[in-house]
Each structure stands twice: as C-alpha cells, then as structure tokens.
Structure 1
Amino acid sequence: MKGFEKTEGLRTNDSSTEGAPRSSPLLCSLRMLLVDAVLITGALFFAVLMRFDGALPAGALDVFPRALPLLLTVRLVTMVWLGLHRWSFRRSGINEAVRLVMANVVASIVFEFLRLVFFASALPGQVVALEFFAATTLLGIHRFAPRMARQWYLEQRRSRADGVQRTLIVGAGSAGDLLLRDLMRGQGNSWHVIGLVDDDPGKQGTFLNGKPVLGVIDALPELMTKHRVTQVLIAIPRLSPERTRHILSLCRHESVSFKIIPASFAYLDEKITAAMLHDLSPEHLLPRDAVSFDHDEVHRLVSGRRVLVTGGAGSIGSEITRQLAGHAPSSLVVVDINENELYLLVRQLQARYPGLPVSSIVADIRDLDRMMRIGQEYRPQYVFHAAAHKHVPLMEDSPEEAIKNNVFGTQNVARMADACGAERFVLISTDKAVKPSSVMGASKRLAEMVIQDIAVTSRTTFCAVRFGNVLGSAGSVVPLFKQQIQAGGPVTVTHPDCTRYFMIIPEAVGLVVLAGLSGYGELCILDMGAPVRIAELAANMITMTGRVPDKDISIVYTGLRPGEKLEETLMSDEEELTQQVRNRIKVARSPAPPQDFDLQLLRLERAAHAGDVHAVKSALQDLIPSYTPSKSRNVILPGSSPLLADVNPPVPGGLRGGPHPLGVEQAVRA
C-alpha cells in the first residue's frame, strides 16, 4: 500500500522536474497560489496603467487597497474550485488551458459585479476587461511556459544527439496528433520530428503540437531531400495498400526507413504511442482488402470434432492446426515426416491449449498401410491434407518424388479418410495446378483429380481448395528476399514482368477451413485479389529497409527457372465457374477424370517407382493435356516408353476401391 500511495502522489503532484526531490502536494499548491497572487496583482496594475495610457492621474491607485483583496479572493477561490492549484507542468494540455480560461471568465464576471456594487465610480469598467486579458496571459505563461521550454530543450538536445532520426510523419489526423505528442514527450526515443504531411487541403500550412504540416504526401521526395529526413512514420492506421505502395514508390530513391501504425490499433486512437509503431512489412502491400471471419461459424464447424492434419508441421499445415486448435476440437492429430518441427509445434499447442488432446505422429503419407492404421486408430471426422512437395525447381529435378508424394501420397490419405468414414476431406491445392508448366503443378492437378475420382463412390465429402502464394511460407520468395537484403544483396528476381497472387497465411488458412468444411463444392478457389509484380515487391522490400534499390542493393534478373510461369491463373478454361458462395470463396467444377484413369495412374506409379523421368513426364501429359513441360534438361517431349507399352488394360478392382490384393507390380503383370 505504501508503494501505491507513493505512486499516486507522484501522479498528482508533477510540478517538479524529473529526477528532483518531490515536494508535498500541499506545499506545491501553496507555491502555485502564491505565484498566481503575484501575477494577478501585476495584471491589475498593468490594466490600470493601460487604461490611462501610462499617465496615472492623482488618486488613480487609491482604489487598490479595496479592489485588490476582492480580486485576489475571487480569482484564487475560482482557481481552487476548478483544481488549477494542482498542476502538472509536463502533462498539461488543451483541456487544462480551457479550464484556465473558464476560471478567469467566471472570476472576471464575479469581480465586475462586485465593482458595480462597491466602487463603480472609482474603478472604470475598462480596467476589468484589460485585467482579464492580462491575468489570463500571465497565468497561462506561468503554467505552460515551463512545459514549452522543456519541450524546446528536449527537441534541441534530440536534434543534436548522435544517431537521431530526422523524421516526417505521414498523416496529420488524430492518430498523427497522438503519435506526435508521445514522440515529443518521450526522452528515450531517437526521433526528431521535422513536420508532417497530409493530403487534406485544410491542414496545409497549419501546425500540430508546434510542428508544421509541410505539404501533401506527393511532396515527400522534395521534403526528404530538403530536411535530410531518414525516417518516415505512417500514422494512418487504415491506409490502403495502394497508398502504401505509392508512398514507397515516392521514397524509392531516398535512404529512409519506415514504420506504421498497424490497422489493429485503428480504434485505439486515444492510446496510440510510439511503442505501437511496427516496421512496414510485405503484408501492408497486398492489393486486396483484409479478410474478416465469422469465428462463431468456424467454431460451430470444428467444435467437438475429431480432426487430422497431414503436413501439420509445414507453413500451411501448422497454421491449420493452430486455427483448428482454437475452436475446441475433441481431438487433434498432427501427421508429418519432419519430426523436429512436429515436436516444436505440438509443444506450442499443448502450452496454448492444455486441455486439448493433441497427438503427434511421425509418418510418411506414401506408406498406405501406415496411413490406414492411423485412420483406424483415431477415426478422424475431418481430414486436412497439406502434406506435399511444393518447390517447383527441385521437383523438376526429381519428378518421380513429386509424383510419389503429391499424387499417390494424396491417394493414400484419401483412401484412409474413405475407409475410416471421415465426413470431410480437404486437399490444399495451388494455382500452379492450372495449365501446369511444372511437375509440381501437374502433380497437384493430378491430386485434385485423384480425390475427385475417389469421391464418386465414397461417403466422404471431398474438396480441393486452390489458392496462390502465401507470404512468409517456408521456401517462398519473401523470406528469400529478406535473407538477400540482410546479406547486402543482390536480390534475385526471375523476370521483370513476373507476377504472382499473394495472401497472408492466417487469411488463406481461415478461408481454407471455411471452404473445406462448409460443403460448398468439390473445387473451391480463393479470391487472392490482384496479382503482384515480383520485381515491384523486391524493390519495395528493399525500400522498406531504408536502402535504395539498384543503388544500395541491386536487383538481378535470373530468368525463369524450369517449370516456372510468367504469371499464374486460378482457373482453367475447362473449369466451369458456378458461383461465388461468399466473400473471397468461389466454387468451380472440374472436368471428370478420363475413363481409363485407373490404368493411367498405374502407368504413372510404375514409372515413378522405376525412376524413369521420361516416362513420368510423358504419363503426366497423357493424364493432363494442358500440362506443358518446361524446356529443362529433364523435359522430354511426349512419346512412348517401354514401361507404358507393357501395361495391359485396366486390372479388375483398379485403384479406386483400394490397394489391389496382388500389389502394384503383380497387378501390372497380371
């Protein structure tokens, strides 16, 4: 309690300088009132002097002994009544200034009434008006001059300090106002605010907390050069991605760093401080509106259900597990071949949700027997299949591995879901499956066809959710750019005109969960907004770190790698867009797999297990006519293969109903 009382005392009696011994509240108040009394006396004398133009007539001051005690009593009582005797020289602001003016107005009205009653003839009325202005001015100087002097001193010291950031604030609204106040109040920060910019014509040429609004946002380049600015603080919490990219493009030739008030603080204007500033990130540049979710809807879908996630330790899979865990499933099974990341993820989930039954299973989705045993043991109701090889150039070099994992691994997990009576199976697909030019994209398109084929005879509802790139996923372009920028460059971009769709991981996964569990259709496509030019993304990321593209860090164009496209699409010409079921989610219908799908899969599987790259790519072209292999050293034009010639017509039982009792090799030979 003693500590609490001491803290309260410091808060209410902040009249001394920081670090100095604190006086008692009573002594501080008496000192304040004593100075006020001296200033009021001087104001009355000044008013009388001004009334007579400095030439006082005989007896002009005879009224002082009667008027001064009344004036002092009225003013000091009013001050105490409105709490102006307890004053913080460091935290006083506009509200305190208004209270001071109100106190003087009330006191002058009362004093005028007393003058009319007691000495109307001895004291002219003009003196009361002049005294009001003089007293208000002197009392205001008394209370605000120390703060202004301290602020000026801190600004001067900060401007001369080593490592100081000469700063411009973008946005002169309420957020900019509160941020500027906090920056000017703090002694520990290294920001020396030069001024502000804002596009509002009414704010041009005005001052905010003593700092000028220097111009519009488009004037940033000239202002940065003129004032040697090294830091830009964006104080517009809901600034659109287009405007953010525009600001970066304006500053691209200047070595300045950036920070921003995140959108999550947009409704906390009264609490905005410098501590809320975040570095600009690629997420701020995405050309789409933020996605909002109905968490109650997701909770109703997930709560109390048994869920299994494959690839649960990966970038997408781990976010799926985290989001699902927050909606109270009855059990959560996480399957992955990467035991280290799986261990860390499950520990994180157990720490965050101690009451949730979480099972971690190290398993290879290519092992059908293992997957069947997992399904029989845990009986999942929802299966999210995120396990996949996704690196395009690597899969061009090892196409058989992409087939074994992405196609037949998916088939194994889908069979498991069917065999254990799962209600829903959700496949994480990719925009690279559309008119694929890479083995990875073709394998994911074939995975979509596999679950479409199995769904024909299964009680399980199968759905593929297709979307583009996610920012920050393992092996993606954003972490690569960050590493290259930290290393001093160069930043490598495949092509100046290369574009990609982007979405942040939590938003993409949230839409995946909704699309997959809501039963909208067999193929759901996420609306990713407008595509992003990779070269522009690289330049903006360099600019955000305070360096100049192609000056401090160079951008090198390396050419498209094997299997890469210049631009991606989310739907092929053959797919019929049926409806947009909700914001950001569209449903399409893909063409049915060919009649001899089982036979062709057998051919592909045998080619993959034999490691015959030529046969793998040729079989992919037969299965997916829109697949166009890249001109890499591993690409072979369509043609026959000895492996394909040995395959007989479809084997009874095929692959749809489950593994053939003779096994793949014997089934092909049968």
Structure 2
Amino acid sequence: MQKGKKLIAYDIIFLIVSLYFSLLLRFDFNIPQEYMVFLKLSIIPVVVITLVANRFFNLYNSIWKYASVEELISIIYSLSLSNVIFIIYSYVVNYKFLENRYFRFPFSVHIIFWILSVVALGGTRFIYRVIEHNMGEKTSKNEEKNLLIIGAGDASALLIKEIRRNKEMNYNIVGLIDDDDAKKGKLINGIEVIGGRDRIISTSKEKNVEEIILAIPSADLETKREIVNICKQTQCKLKTLPAIDEIIDGRINIGKLREVNIEDLLGREEVKLNNENINKYIKDKVILVTGGGGSIGSELCRQIAKFSPKKLVILDIYENNVYDVQMELNRNYPELEKEIIIASIRDNKRIREIFDTYKPDVVFHAAAHKHVPLMEGNPAEAIKNNIIGTYNVLKCADEFKVKKFVQISTDKAVNPTNIMGATKRFCEIMVQAFDKSSSTEYVAVRFGNVLGSNGSVIPLFKKQISHGGPVTVTHPEINRFFMTIPEAAQLVIQAGAIARGGEIFVLDMGKPVKIVDLARDLITLSGYKPDVDIKIEYTGLRPGEKLYEELLMDEIALTSTEHNKIFVEKPNNIEMDFVEKSIEEFSKVSSMDKEDIFKLVEKKVPTYKRKKNN
C-alpha cells in the first residue's frame, strides 16, 4: 500500500514536470505568458485524468519488482487514453483570455507531453525494478549455497536452466562432475565439467560446497550407490533428481528434487516380472487382500491393480489406513472395481460371509501382528490373530474353492526366538498342511524387513534424527535383511504365479545390513555427523530379538526357480490332524497364563527356542 502511494506521488510530480517541459521544448525555452496561465489552469485536470486512467489499467496494483514489457504497454495505453481525453477537454472547455480570444495548447505540445510522460512514468518503474533486482542480487549472493552437480548430460543441462530461472533457490553452481573424460573442461550452459567422481571430495573442500545434486536419473543403481557413498564423505547435503520417466515435458521440476534417502543405498535393481504368468492368475479374477491397509498389503493392492483384476477386495480391521488406499486407487485406477471390507480375520463367521459373497479366485494373506517386543508381551493376542485368524482364512479358501492362497511370511519364522516369529512359522506349517488336503494351491512367501514399513527401524531413526537424537540401536552387531516395499510386493505376486502348491518361497534379500551402519548412513544423509551432531546409543537386545535373522530352515533345502530372485524351500511333511488339534489347543489361550502359552508354542513349533533373558 505504501509503495502504491509513493508511485502516485511520483506520477503527479512527473506529470507536472512533463507538461512544463513540453511547453519549454515547443517554445524554445521561452514560454509566452498566456500559456503559463493556461498551464496553471490545466495541471489539476491533467493529473486527475491521468491518475484515473492509470487506475483503470491497474498500474498501482502491479508488483514493479517484476515489471516487464506488459507493464510498459499498460503505461502506453493509459497515457494515450489520458492524453486523448485531455485534448478533448482542452478543445471543448476553452478558456477566454486576453482580448476575448479563445485559447488552447498547440497540438505539438500534446505530442511532446505524451512522449515525456511515457518516458518519465515508465522509466520510474523500470528504474525501481533494476534497484530491487540489484538489491536482491546482493542479498542472494550473501545467502547463496555452493552447489556441485553430479552428471553432465541432458538432465544436468535442464537442471542448470531451471536453477537459473528459480532465483529464490539461491544456488551458486561451482561445477559439474562426470566420469566421461571427453567432457572434462567443457562447458554446459556456462558451467565447467571439473572431472570424474574422484574429484567430488576435493572439489567440495576447495569450493566450500554445501549441497550436491545427483543429476544422473538414467544411471544404474550400483553406480548411484557408489557415487552416494563418495558424497557421504563430504558432509554435504545430498539431493537427487527423480527417475527419468518422472521428468515431464523435458523440464526438470525443482519441486521434484528430493533428498537422497537410505533406499537409494540399500535398494536393488528393478524387479523384472513375468507379466504373462501374472496375467494368467490375476487378470479378470477376483482378488482378496487381507491386511490391505498395511505396508505390504497396500503395496500388493497397488501392484495387483496394474494387472486389471475383475474385482479387488481389500480387507482390513483398521479403517484409516484402508481408506487412504481406497482414495489412492480411486485416483489412479478409477475404472478398477473394488470393495473395501472392514473386518477382523479372527471373526470366522464374518470371514465366511466375505468369501461366500465375493468368492475370490486368489487370496493374498498379509494381515498379521508383526511387532516383536509387543507380541512378546501379548502372546495370546499374537496367537489369536496370527494363528487362529490365519486358520480361519485358510479354511475359507478351501471351502470356497479359491484357486491360489499366498501367505506373507517373515525371516523371523526361521528358527524363531520370539512369539511373533513362532506364530508365523506355525502359519507356514498350516499352509503346507492345507495344501496336501485341498484343491487350492497354498504357498508361503518369506522375506525380511521392508524399508520404510510401519513399525520398521528407518521411520524410527528419521524421527529420532529430526528431534536431534540420540538414535537408539539395540546392539552394535545386530543386522537385518532389507528390501523395498514395491520389490517385496512384486516378488510376492511373482511367487504366486510360479506356485504349484505347498512351497515356501524365499526371496533374495541380498546381503544383511548392520543396523548401526544404517543409522550412521541416515544421520550422514540428513546432513549431520554421526556421534558428533547426533549420538548413537545402544539399548540392548529386546525380548525375543536375535542378532542375526535367517531366511531358511535348512540351507541345503534351497532350490532355484525360474525367477532369479525367488527360491523355494523343500516342503515338510505336515498332516492336517496335527493342525486341527493344535488349533483346538490354541483356541484356549485367553484363559492361559503367559508361561503356559510359551510352553504350548514350544511344543507346536519345534524350531522355536525362546530367549527368556536378553
């Protein structure tokens, strides 16, 4: 508002000065007395007419810091209109002066006045823009962050242009890094290619680099991982461009830049699916996903939706998560027919109603309690949900002639030391027993931790880092297998295509990762120094927790499959009589004390070795 008032004041002054100088120029700097009298009488009409015209063309609403050709055109239109009105005014409303003569300005005065006023009013605004720009440049120079870009290809060229367009980013690009020797010393949009990845650390020190952007969206994962590991040594904040297929219309969107995260270090190459096999058992079929609102269940729904099922039935006990999945699928797959069911797998009658109503062709069973320490303190709940709930779903799959049943299992089911792992191992036992006595193809798919899943260690670490630490790790030697959520879901679906019944599929989880190394990487990627800015504290193993997880019951039982990331464990000889009798005993856990529950599970799961003190 203040700037608008100042502009009006400046305009009034410049209009008066322009009118006066137009007379001086017309009369060779010797203005006749009668014209001076007429000048005084014309000042107020000229000012009023021009200010009204300026208002009409929004000249006092524009942000002149960003003044451009459009604003200059508006000034020309406004002053042209006001001059026309002034000419009409001066010819219609004549003033009678000396010797009873009618008196008016020569037409040339109006032309000169128009030129001078355009220059004065337009010049004022553009001088203001230059001053603001220069002040902004000085401010931004003080606040600029030195930036190093990794990559000297098309993505980098587009990124440089976008950064220059977005001055508010305040980046000073110090150079480009590329392993192509032919590019060394060359300029891309005025920025020099300094050298290969061996120059990252030295350049970061020499140029006081604060941020590094990875602009190599088409590079393979191993290359990215190696470069990120080098960048981690610089203590610079790391960001990366999205995948190449996310860059739309050839423009890099600064808003799409994201911080490098732990998935960039731990992820593997994209899973290659056999779409033909998957289509055969999902396309145009009714698919039921239990636990469809959870980390794995929701991703299963996303992946299944791509294969055009006849109907996707999503079952979960917790309505908030499954609602989010529903909204996402409605947005991304509006044509997909879907049903959202809020129900507990413990409720056998309700589960039977669901199977009777929708008659699914394929069931992915992801519903389970999975938190190890919490289940250790609540063993009866673990049994009622994981064992009895799974039995209800298995039974209905048999009764209603489901074609395939895929059980989501865990590495914690291998030689379990906790009640959660033991319940999941018993689920594998039930799967193999049902397969022997049913026409349904029952299989289990076993994998380790998934990155970023609900309750996993990475979201916990991120929260702890955001609060300034400390980051808590149970033991300096504890390690785990990790897999991304999409990769796990895709391999589960692929395993379902391979299944012939009775298998326990084991997914290739790569190498186990030390949790403390994971913590250090997350701290570093967040721009902090481990044990300096953010402390790491060891809290001791929790009840039922192992230092090392295993994916197999017996290494020699491992057999390869047609997919290079899926292996199969030799089926055990399990009878349904054992399962039925065990379910009868497990159904009484609500009236048992904890110690008796643990003993019962030890009896039913021979590989379960309870750890009482950790």
User: If the TM-score is normalised by the length of the shorter chain, which range does it land in?
Assistant: 0.7 to 0.9
> Per-residue deviation at 1:246?
4.4
Instruction: Find the counterpart in structure 1 of residue 200 from structure 2.
Output: 220
Instruction: Find the counterpart in structure 2 of residue 298 from structure 1.
Output: 278
Cα 1:219–1:207 shift into 2, 3 Å:
same
Match of residue 510, structure 2, among 521, 529, 549: 529
- Cα displacement string for residues 13-46 of structure 1 (whole angstroms, at most 9, x for unaligned residues): xxxx98246999xxxxxxxxxxxxxxxxxxxxxx
> Per-residue deviation at 1:215?
4.4
> Per-residue deviation at 1:249?
4.3
Cα 1:245–1:553 shift into 2, 3 Å:
farther
Instruction: Find the counterpart in structure 2 of residue 620 from structure 1.
Output: 601
- Cα displacement string for residues 466-494 of structure 1 (whole angstroms, at most 9, x for unaligned residues): 11111121111121112112112111122
Cα 1:391–1:158 shift into 2, 3 Å:
farther
Match of residue 179, structure 1, among 159, 165, 170: 159
Match of residue 318, structure 1, among 298, 302, 305: 298
Q: Does 2:399 align with 1:419?
A: yes
Tell me if the contact between 1:430 and 1:441 (Cα under 8 Å) persists in the aligned partners: yes
Match of residue 369, structure 1, among 337, 343, 349: 349
Q: Structure 2 matches for 1:274-289, cutoff 5 A?
A: 274-286=254-266, 288-289=268-269
- Cα displacement string for residues 325-359 of structure 1 (whole angstroms, at most 9, x for unaligned residues): 33332222222111232334334434444443322
Give the match's secondary structure for 2:169: coil
Instruction: Find the counterpart in structure 2 of residue 611 from structure 1.
Output: 592
Instruction: Find the counterpart in structure 2 of residue 552 from structure 1.
Output: 533
Amino acid of the structure 2 residue aligned with 1:617? F
Cα 1:325–1:242 shift into 2, 3 Å:
closer
Give the match's secondary structure for 2:408: strand
- Cα displacement string for residues 37-69 of structure 1 (whole angstroms, at most 9, x for unaligned residues): xxxxxxxxxxxxxxxxxxxxxxxxxxxxxxxxx
- Cα displacement string for residues 437-458 of structure 1 (whole angstroms, at most 9, x for unaligned residues): 1111111111010111111111
Tell me if the contact between 1:158 and 1:190 (Cα under 8 Å) persists in the aligned partners: no
Tell me, in whole angstroms, the C-alpha distance in 1 between the residues paired with 2:330 and 2:153.
44
Tell me if the contact between 1:577 and 1:586 (Cα under 8 Å) persists in the aligned partners: yes
Give the match's secondary structure for 1:455: helix
Q: Does 2:422 align with 1:442?
A: yes
Alignment TM-score, normalising by the size of structure 2? 0.73
Count of aligned residue pairs for this structure pair: 490
Q: Structure 2 matches for 1:157-556, cutoff 5 A?
A: 157=137, 160-252=140-232, 254-265=234-245, 271-272=251-252, 274-286=254-266, 288-295=268-275, 297-521=277-501, 522-556=503-537
Cα 1:387–1:575 shift into 2, 3 Å:
farther
> Per-residue deviation at 1:285?
0.9
Q: Which one has the bigger helix percentage? A: 2
Give the match's secondary structure for 2:287: strand
Give the match's secondary structure for 2:561: strand
Amino acid of the structure 1 residue aligned with 2:441? T
Structure 1 window deviating more from structure 2 (334-343 vs 504-513): it is 334-343
Structure 1 window deviating more from structure 2 (507-516 vs 272-281): it is 272-281
Cα 1:216–1:269 shift into 2, 3 Å:
farther
> Per-residue deviation at 1:269?
11
Tell me if the contact between 1:178 and 1:273 (Cα under 8 Å) persists in the aligned partners: no
Give the match's secondary structure for 1:440: helix
Q: Tell me how large the CA RMSD over aligned residues is.
A: 3.1
Match of residue 587, structure 1, among 568, 573, 580: 568
> Per-residue deviation at 1:422?
0.8
Amino acid of the structure 2 residue aligned with 1:555? I
Give the match's secondary structure for 1:228: coil
Tell me, in whole angstroms, the C-alpha distance in 2 between the residues paired with 1:372 and 1:162.
68
Amino acid of the structure 1 residue aligned with 2:377? D
Give the match's secondary structure for 2:436: coil
- Cα displacement string for residues 544-597 of structure 1 (whole angstroms, at most 9, x for unaligned residues): 222222222222222221122222221121772232221322222232237862
Give the match's secondary structure for 1:546: coil
Q: Which runs of 5+ in 1 are unaligned?
A: 1-16, 25-149, 634-670
> Per-residue deviation at 1:241?
4.6
Tell me if the contact between 1:311 and 1:386 (Cα under 8 Å) persists in the aligned partners: yes
Instruction: Find the counterpart in structure 2 of residue 576 from structure 1.
Output: 557
Instruction: Find the counterpart in structure 2 of residue 601 from structure 1.
Output: 582
Instruction: Find the counterpart in structure 2 of residue 563 from structure 1.
Output: 544
Amino acid of the structure 1 residue aligned with 2:210? T
Give the match's secondary structure for 2:407: strand
Give the match's secondary structure for 2:437: coil
Amino acid of the structure 2 residue aligned with 1:332? L
Q: Does 2:68 align with 1:19?
A: yes
> Per-residue deviation at 1:251?
4.5
Tell me if the contact between 1:234 and 1:260 (Cα under 8 Å) persists in the aligned partners: yes
Tell me if the contact between 1:577 and 1:589 (Cα under 8 Å) persists in the aligned partners: yes
Cα 1:185–1:347 shift into 2, 3 Å:
closer
Tell me if the contact between 1:315 and 1:474 (Cα under 8 Å) persists in the aligned partners: yes
Tell me, in whole angstroms, the C-alpha distance in 2 between the residues paired with 1:158 and 1:283.
39
Alignment TM-score, normalising by the size of structure 1? 0.67
Instruction: Find the counterpart in structure 2 of residue 33 from structure 1.
Output: none
Cα 1:158–1:416 shift into 2, 3 Å:
farther
Instruction: Find the counterpart in structure 1 of residue 43 from structure 2.
Output: none
Cα 1:321–1:249 shift into 2, 3 Å:
closer
Tell me, in whole angstroms, the C-alpha distance in 1 between the residues paired with 2:596 and 2:577.
17
> Per-residue deviation at 1:621?
2.1
Tell me, in whole angstroms, the C-alpha distance in 1 between the residues paired with 2:205 and 2:613.
48
Tell me if the contact between 2:152 and 2:177 (Cα under 8 Å) persists in the aligned partners: yes
Tell me, in whole angstroms, the C-alpha distance in 1 between the residues paired with 2:539 and 2:440.
45
Tell me, in whole angstroms, the C-alpha distance in 2 between the residues paired with 1:155 and 1:263.
37
Amino acid of the structure 1 residue aligned with 2:569? A
Give the match's secondary structure for 1:332: strand
Tell me, in whole angstroms, the C-alpha distance in 1 between the residues paired with 2:462 and 2:228.
17
> Per-residue deviation at 1:542?
1.8
Tell me if the contact between 2:149 and 2:215 (Cα under 8 Å) persists in the aligned partners: yes
Tell me, in whole angstroms, the C-alpha distance in 1 between the residues paired with 2:184 and 2:374.
55
Cα 1:628–1:241 shift into 2, 3 Å:
farther
Instruction: Find the counterpart in structure 2 of residue 643 from structure 1.
Output: none
